[in-house]
Amino acid sequence: MTRAERQMQFLYALRSKGVTDARVLTAMEKTDRALFVKGHFADRAYDDMPLPIACGQTISQPSVVGLMTQALQVNPRDKVLEVGTGSGYQAAILSHLARRVYTVDRYKSLMAEARKIFTQLDITNLTAFTADGSFGLPEQAPFDRILVTAAAEDPPGPLLAQLKVGGIMVLPVGQSDSVQQLIRVARTQTGFEYEELRPVRFVPLLEGLGKD
Ligand code: SAH
């Protein structure tokens, strides 16, 4: 299969799973997932499945990345926080949609790899930090949009606090390690509105920094 054919099939699969937002599809078309998948899994980069990355973590399934990005309703002027950089794939996609993206991961080594790719892709509106993202990024807050790509029992308080009025946060929540609910939280003048989107499966949001 040629690269163009693979790309067509990739986009077709996204559409068939409900990713229909044109801006999201274009951002995903511009972001070659193969760059973010290393070693012997690289040839599965265009399959719609999660794949292992370093530190026992995973790069999410493309259709889930697409649906989460779509649910986030990012505007071109938005300042976005992503918690859980992992491979950097989701952050790179967000960088095409937002004015400014901040992404954090608790593993230094994952961050180092992701930063190399951001530099290689010449992405200039993205800043990556090694930090415990459950506390958000107080120095850069508040955010128009927050995307969490690891599952917590409940939306972390600091993240709710760092969301602007009119802002949206998308995150997986739940007690179980195997299945969580993807939810969308909208901050209004008076409080927060919660909406359940679909069941998903993510690695847990853990406290503190990772060892590697
Ligand atoms: N968005 C990533 C996939 C995320 S996998 C991608 O596109 O590839 C989930 C990531 O969340 C892992 O890399 C894990 O290290 C990170 N993570 C878990 N708990 C965290 C925390 N408290 N703060 C920051 N990152 C965290």
Q: Which pLDDT value is given to residue 39?
A: 82
pLDDT for 3 beyond 90: no
Top-confidence residue, 176 or 110: 110
Cα–Cα–Cα angle for 16, 155, 58, rounded to 5 degrees: 50
Question: Any residues with Cβ below 6 Å from ligand 1, and which?
Answer: 57-60, 83-84, 86-87, 89-90, 104-107, 110, 132-134, 149-150, 203, 205-206, 210
Q: Which pLDDT value is given to residue 104?
A: 98
Q: What does the alpha-carbon distance between residue 74 and residue 188 come to, in Å, rounded to a whole number?
A: 17
pLDDT for 175 beyond 90: no
Q: What does the alpha-carbon distance between residue 141 and residue 79 come to, in Å, rounded to a whole number?
A: 9
Residues 111-138, mean pLDDT to the nearest whole number: 97
pLDDT for 176 beyond 80: no
Q: Which pLDDT value is given to residue 156?
A: 97
Residues 115-142, mean pLDDT to the nearest whole number: 97
Residue 69 backbone dihedrals phi, psi, to 5 degrees: -65, -40
The confidence band for 113, taking pLDDT boundaries of 50, 70 and 90, is very high
The residue to mutate among 31, 33, 59, 83, having the most atoms of ligand 1 within 8 angstroms of its beta carbon, is 83
Distance 132 CA to ligand 1 centre (A): 10
Cα–Cα–Cα angle for 120, 41, 69, rounded to 5 degrees: 60
Q: How many CB atoms lie within 10 A of CB 37?
A: 20
Distance 136 CA to ligand 1 centre (A): 13
Q: Do the Cβ atoms of 150 and 204 come closer than 8 Å?
A: yes
Annotated active-site positions, please?
A: 60
Residues 144-154, mean pLDDT to the nearest whole number: 96
Q: Which pLDDT value is given to residue 208?
A: 87
